[in-house]
Structure 1
């Protein structure tokens, strides 16, 4: 049996004897992923509350109100001629958007004004979805009218076809599932891998372990491979849940996403090894793992744009493995060309080579120093 295989078997036996570690690699991922699946199961918010501020009362205004209420993503919760009352409802979170229909809508009357759409930007997802749906509904109602403007962002003009790539249903379940699943597992495996290496220390040194076993480098790799395999397995199960059970589809290759998952957890384990080997304290290494993996989703650029961020935010994003994995994953969801995949996969492979290599060197140095 090779040193890598012996390390894998040793770690498997240790985890089987340690209830906490066994829970972290079996029940905890199931609990976390199951909770997330339940929270985002609805797909996208439906029946988003909308206030109609009707200052006209005519047939076109009535049609706009009916069309808004009939749209599957919207619901008219109130009609009032008073904009202040509508704004008060939005502030009380009784609605997320308001449509102001001016007097003389659809005519050339002197005081005719554009239709206005207000939405709650504090809650970005629901406000943006409501505004998008309202723009489409109001634009359809006004398509045959003349001299009418809409003061929102910009309405799609008649004859222009808009196709949504990667997430045609605008489902938050698909979007959030692709982000949260890998992010949570990334943090969990960082913790379990760091704990696995930490138990090898005696008095802040790996000397006893390095001298006491054959092929210590291979054994350490084998121990970490168990955590890489566990993370990859849970990541694949989560991907299958989203695609097979929930029916979402990636335009690219699922097999390349699976390869990216394995590379992500290899990078995670390598960083955990480096943190333990460099700090020589399990508590400090675990804190570092939480800082690295816990901040990864926020700095990945997938949820919040980093284009206008400071240099440190961009630098921190670039050194985090989750950033490169999410780039790889989203590229495959869109079905892009191979070159971006190769760049992201190559970046992920640097972590086992560089961080893992330095971590192993630090561990093995103890055996030569004493």
Structure 2
């Protein structure tokens, strides 16, 4: 389940050129199950049509602090009490100044003063305005008051200049909100995740690997971070961006991955180890430094077995408290796959059926084995599946991860 699903968010929109992006922001929030309301600052309607926002949200758009109909019921107070979170995006330099001084001169300013909900601010303005001492002073004051800033980003601005002050892209705003508003039941826990393939080099351009994309492991790292855990991601070669709030260690080979994991468990107490990486079973017995010509490639390549990371950490003196391991199979023999993982020391097992096209794709289906229980997780986006998997794991452990 998406951490934003069911949240009541009041989107407040300021007078900025970047307000044209807010219908897309509203749509993305609604797609994630957010119950959304919209309130405009005095000049926001100069940059975005209220009718467009109403069409996207399915709700009336509040535009004035002095509407006789709406304010007959003190609607600005009702909105402030209704919201689980306030998102002011975009907020201009003038909007920041008013909030920092506690001014109730427009609808957003009044709502902020009347609300106890967390406040998220996504600034958008010219670089010089953002960097001005007065603006930075206002930012520090708002941070001291508990506001969370989402950006700004750096890039090309509406004025033609390039620098800090650009509104964060809509997906980034949604991701940061998701991380901030998620259930933090794993706060203080240390989670170690492996992801991606490994690369076992024979020469500088040839080696042994597999089709794993790393998406499922990265999704598991993000889902654990959303729950408040301190997450370390040991990743084989992949082009995926590191999830927000996650520490990533890039490795190449299976031995590199094992060494990184052993170093981590020696440095800190790991509560949960999630072994999702598709680690190569073997490596070339020898490798060469220079690229070999076509005629120099041997017809047969001697191989050596790679270390088993799950078994190695299970046998370590610094064994993680819980080990969750994945198995990818094509034959559908669940009992054999689970027995194989538990023989290595895994406490919990997840079975992926490769016949569903999980490896390399954006969706996955899985079966989780936890104690004597079995959960079938239907095919879904890999991030949604990761959240569901950790939810069931937490339930199995009665919240004692």
Structure richer in strand, relative to its length: 2
Please indicate, yes or no, whether the TM-score normalized by the shorter chain is above 0.5. Answer: no
TM-score by length of structure 1 reads 0.28
TM-score by length of structure 2 reads 0.26
Q: Who wins on radius of gyration, i.e. which is larger?
A: 1
Structure richer in helix, relative to its length: 1
